[in-house]
Structure 1
């Protein structure tokens, strides 16, 4: 992956309305930015970090921006959720990953992804322009095609949602835009036949939303045995017991006979009657036993068993039940209820007949020594009637179940017809197939352009130089700290939860200086990239002002550290406000990076129409050529001074002229008076003996006031109290004239340098 340019920025910090200047060369593998404090360097890094973090910066939620990759692909604030390997080191990284001045300060692990990047050599520019033009055409076609597709997809999604609402489909996957497109394909040859009239659609919808009832499982079964029982009971009634000697009194009194029969069992081993206490003679016992013979006992047993069987059968018949009529569709309920009523009536009659059989058994029990004719009112036909009624009820339940099953199919058929109806309407109303033809035509044009682009790529392959970055082996963070500082004053220890604690001289680190924090943060940034096997060679690394708040010694250590780390990075961006460090960067580019595949830029803040904003330019030759900012500042002042007065109000860097003048004059005085005096003291020494300028004292006061009051960008009242243009013009002219008078040889040398 490689970023070629920042296409546009809107309302992101000081980048109010930035558009890439076509006269500015696109980014290369190595990209270095110089800019004063508050010029917009950190703001630029935050745009890149939006892509790393996959979210907008919290302070710029309404901003808009886009960057262009090497394949002319655009990344914008709308598609920052991507897997492109972009990593940014800036003050936000430090803030997000460290907790300072806290005994439990821990370094949060860094999550890293990787992706391939590439760049093309300068020699490819001509062919690249041709390729870019075709890519632009291709991009335009793709944008047009994508717009049509997006609009069509949105309409498909909306229509699918409408159909889901119409059919009360809650699962979006059941009918989404993909399903809708599949249906459209099914009916593309005869879609007009699928369009229904309004009343047809309404009827189908009514069918779909008809209440669906559950199928009914009839658990009860019927097994009536009245006919069999009648036959069995007749046999019992016809059974006549033959006794050796019938005791007539017992024969005529069934209750007495039962009582005596039970008494015999109780007195088997007794000699006296347990009721009256009289003696039981052998003769009396023999007489009773002859009455209650074995045949008699068997008959009584059979009667008891049959009676129990009949009572059990009554319980079985009583337990027969049916589902509530409310569980059936309305059209079945009335008939179902009538049959239930008839069945219950018949069941009552049936049970009464069974009870009559029980009465017959009891009657037989009292007359065991004679045959009895069964009660003629017992109706055997009831058995057949109750079976038939049960079957009719079961049939209605089966009809209900069939209705449930068939209704579901009818509903599905109705749903399908409605779906196809709205699919056909969509084809008709949205010109679906016409749009598909347009998309196919654009695809064909894109394909042709792709072929042409591929042909050009083949032509430029011979002169193309690919810079392949290899991943640097992972090293422990403590090794980096030790190597950087030359001792083990700082140490990182891992906690049980996988986080880290920072120690200084074996104590939890507190009150770190800003410089120490920046150094440790930078080391941590690179060590974590390597620890997690991040593919640095195919990545975009943005390092913002790595020497902020560092002294000269540490600045050179940072330079040495970066020399070792940046060579194999896929694409590198470094910004700095420190001109000494910027000179080291130029050495790094020239000697460490082979003086190729790199670009230098200037980030500056300008004023236009009373509005301050940041912009990006090609680094001026003076800043590139000289290892001193001094020449560059002189060139800006000279350019302003040489500009016609009528044009100075629109001078691009008018807003910065007071600050430029102050910085330039400070440098000049430092060289002229290296005595340690303060700025105003040196200035007063300088203005002494100026004789060829009228009103020197007043001009001196005005110039010093301008440089003192209006040169500090951090002053919040600065923009509201900007000096008058004549004051700026006169001050610049005065300072340059004074230097020319007092140091003419030096002034001539400055002029020749620009």
Structure 2
């Protein structure tokens, strides 16, 4: 059943539980780990650790643990609930009620100080039909989680839908979050590990900020060309400063003026040779021949005829100083024009490695424009050269000058453009780090944008927003249902408070005292508190024959305490909650008659189902969710076996607490103790175990530690029934053994080892195992010889074949 205690998994540093492990210790005959069930019976000798277990469970009730333990640790597992530990005592949320000496000390202070009183508690008072009907109506309205039409059913349904909405939202959100984490942080592919982006601290939060940036309307993804430029920029290192480009010092304008003057210059000829004036080719031929013949030949080198005497005078008059000077100037100017033309292509030699990559495009454009303008400039020079060449052939005839189409200004503009790019590149060196940082940023955003598109982030985000809205709507429905439940519960609580009556708590205790134990003179009385030091309410006091009782016996204190506990199970906070109940050794100092009545009280007031009115229909329900009863008394154990459900293996479980020295452990109760619950059977089994052991291990060592007490108590019972007029004496012991030596040996064990016999060292040294085994074997052997019928029956009772 959900909410039941399944096991006490571990206990450390709590009295005799030093380092207890449930899974190692509590195993059945098939070596399976046993668990607590609905009805749990625990047997253990005094000082074995029963109260320690009850204190652990009471800590789960009160939320506090005794400060007297030094670094205590424990873990208690519940069925279908979170475990409780020494640091989380009440997280389980179950109603728990524990009866032990701490409960008695806290609630019945008069036991330690007779001047003190007893804490009062309220139970339901006199019937009030109207209020009870209102409570019933509200309870029916509240209903149960299984009733879908009730408030609790609606709340459960709303809670299921809310949890489903959360699950869907979490599933979708976690899937997207995983993608984001991988993109941001995954080794090898995450942005964090990509050196290109240069952010070793990149994380999901930064990725989300980038996604917000790339999803805005103003963002545009990078083109491939832009991406390539930024990648190239990131490969750049700081460059040396580029020196200025020398001025082009173009000479076209000056040369053009010179050419104009030369082609338009007029010359005067005294006696020109008309044949030559009309034939430029002939004139050129004659001028060449003149240079070849003058001063060298007397006859023509072409025809061989004698040269005329006046030939040189005629030619000098035709080729005079003006024309010759003009010719010389023209030829010199042509050389200047050719030199200028040859110089132009080398004016702009762009070394791209000196510039940063982001200037490449501009440099390419500049170079293309320069090449074109250089050709245009050379064309202009060629036109001037052509005009001069024409004038050379017609040296005596001025020409009409033709102005070139280009002046060279465009080349100078390109020089200025180059200088501007050079300066920009030099300036760029000073801000390279900033520009590269910006390039990394833009490339990272581009990477995020690609990721954003690939995973359809906007669609995912919209789906999550829709699921978030569904969750919020489900939360509102759940909250409204919860408010309705709490409002109804408060109304029920308020109505119940009108019914509760503290004065009736004492009457319930007295009912138990009188009906079950026959104590008519001893009772609890409720007295209303008064005075400034009190805050109203009642206090309980024990009276005998109408007067406050003093000097109560231990048995009377035990009776009152247990009746008080049972009555308190009917208090306002507990009744109807089906609590987990733990009762620790309730029959301390009680005689056999009271032991039976204690069992009867547990039977009728806890185990038996209670009747209740459900809308006019009388129904039954369990008074508890789970019960634990511990005892040191074998007679009481015998009665507990009779409890309803105690014989049902599915509903009940039996345990023993075994102590050896300063250590205790919980074990599944052996069959002989479970099936034959007289102390005589148990004591015989322990002596037989001690006699049968060949090797001591963790499963049997307690038989040796307890052998002294077990042997002594066994003889007390056995010899009393065999010799009722004498009991256990040296004489009857000798009669049992028939020899003096074994009897003396056994007497030593019974006295020294069961009481330490005033020898402190006995409690601090290991038990002498061989001595124990010899004594146990001798007892078994004498019993077999002296009383074979009883010996056979005892063997049968503990499940051992003869």
TM-score, length-scaled by structure 2: 0.46
Higher-Rg structure is 2
TM-score, length-scaled by structure 1: 0.48
